[in-house]
Structure 1
Amino acid sequence: MLFQLLIIICISTNTYASNKLVTLPLSITSLFQATYFYRNTTVPFSFTNCTGVNDADNSDPAENKLLKSRNASFISYSTEFKSLIDSNTTPKLIEQQPVSIPFAHEGGAYVPETNEVWFSANQLPQQNTNVSSINLTTNEVTLLNINNPINTPNGIKYFNSLVYVCSQGTKTIPAAIYAVNPTTLVSKVIVNSWFGYRLNSPNDVTFSTKISGKTFMWFTDPQVAYQQGFAGVPEYQNTVFRYDMLTGELRPVITDLITPNGIAFNQEETVLYVSDTTPTSDIAIVYAYDLTKDGLPMNRRIFSVSSYGIPDGIKVDKYDRVWTAEGDGINVRNSYGTLLGVILGYNLSSNGLISNFELKDNTVIILAQEKLWRLDLAQNVL
């Protein structure tokens, strides 16, 4: 989705702490017992500076545990999150490429026909058409040879035997949403215009089937490609669109977000989650919307605010927990927005950034730029 450059100090990216879970009370997010504490805006919560805390103190206050979380794999704020982690829950590195090749950046879509998760590369430092897959049986990673290559691919979603890929386009090739047959790898354009205007740069996509008895495709369409210099001047505002899969109607349904990014529904499709993200104005919010009987978003409210970085990819598990890729890792919240725990990203990539991921049964495929990780949880979540 969005390209972020996060500066993380005092973090070693040459090593990786295997299975290490640090349990913290949620109250530490609002109250420190240390005589002095300070957090620089360029570091995650774990790197808050504290004085007046003895790391060897046998009482092991919450601040000491926070210090220890700098070398951990997980932070748990709840028994619910802790139940997902056991002694075998350790991120396993599947593939690594040079830092200059962020091949595992976006997407994260499970494809049942091939038992694969598809994902896309970052468009920076150069534009590309790279969509890859990891086979969940063999862990083999493959660069897919899609017929009719998709320029600057981004968000990906599987629906009804097809894989839908957001193309951000270029200065000469219009942005679009493509549908790809996962068996033949033949792609076709589904939508590329709103009344003759070119799309901005579709970022993420999802589907609903329970609203008004219709099937809708929903996607965020921010002006990110123009802002990053590889697309032309935008022809309309940042928008969230709803596309009727039967009639072909493309309708703007949200137009007041700064930079709409991730998008997902709860299991009953009664709540729509959309992240609003831009590094330049410090917006890092996931909004929740109810839906009218006609399938229009209403009652916008703040669901969560990221304490570090921006909320990029969003997934909702079978328990309606909301998982978001943020600056410190994958944050897991319950349906009320309470933070349950974090899969930490400090040591998973060179800059600590996880843009997206995918959930399948008990497996989390983590897209960490130049590294691809697999995490097998103690419980099925989807």
Structure 2
Amino acid sequence: MGATGGATMEEAGGLRKRVLAFAAVLALIVGGFVLARWASQPSLAPDKPVAQQWIEAVSQFGLEPVYPPQEDFVVGDILAFITADRKRYVEADPLPLRAVKLWNADLSAELKETYSATYRFPATSERPANEKSIWKQPARESASIFETPFERRDMPLALLPGFTIATKRAGDLDASGLSAVVGLRASGAKSVQVSVEGVETYGVPALYAEAALLKFCGNERFKNVCTDKGMRAQLSMIVGSDICEMMPAGPKGKTTPRFSVELGLVARVYLARSVQTFLEDGSSVTLSGSSTGQAALPSPPSPPAQLATPPDAAAESARKSEQTIIDEKLSAQRASITQREATTAPGVQSVVQRGDSSRIAINQVLQRPVAIGFRSVRYIARPVEGQLCDRK
């Protein structure tokens, strides 16, 4: 009877371990599939349109972005801007969705005057082959280095650092039981690196730009455009009648327009002749598992039942010492069995790894430079109550 009972307990322990192992493997399959799909397929920035990614990246340089980059965006352009929408974020919209070009003020005379009074340093010499040598720069022999040129024939240079749009994901899945230990790790990364090369810039001082904008608004043909009502009439070509929408009254009972509008003149433009783009995509999945199929360890024997009549102190002390010795032997035996299970027990141990990556480089050199950013002077016209728009 005792042998049969022991075998039954061992069979029950083995069945329990097999059930736990199956549950752990099932958890690995289901959870691992979800984890791998999540981690190895990251989306960029996250799922933003290319226009918004470009605009946010260029904005980090302290510039107002031009998207798409274009050649016919020049100093002197006058635009009506939507600068805020109280229902959505519009700062990341490309210019065609939030600005209308109204006019171009000819500032060629101001540009010539500006750069005729600006000196030009000599070109940089070749870097010496010996890094320890002094990198000497050429000196102007015919005139002072601060001599102002009579006529400038090239544009001033500008330097913009490259920027990266990237996202990474990584995760772990672990399941453990008495007879199985499985784990999975998945990771993925996508990035877009953009390098803008050959950057040049030109512009006029703010006072010239302000004078040109005020002159435009003082012209009888255009002065109505410089009012809040006139700007909204122009911008209605982009957003329609929503440009006249008013927001609900606030705590003080005052209403405000949904859109804020401004008039601006482009005072400085940044141009690029080459754009390099690097697209990188990589992911990896690692699966590890082990199973020994060993039966559960038997439970330690129960301590002997206490006598109904309390023994004397000497007998009690001897019984406790004997029980302590038994417990220590059982603990050592269990530790030895566990160690053998971890190192020499038969079973399956496996590691599966998978990874892939790709890199695409695109270098686009343009025939002529295109505008990628600008700076402007702005004019704000306060709306007249009850005259936001012409309503028919």
TM-score for both structures, normalised by structure 2: 0.17
Larger radius of gyration: 2
Asked which structure has the greater RCO (Cα within 8 Å, sep 6+), the reply is 2
Q: Which has the higher strand share?
A: 1
Q: Which has the higher helix share?
A: 2
TM-score for both structures, normalised by structure 1: 0.18
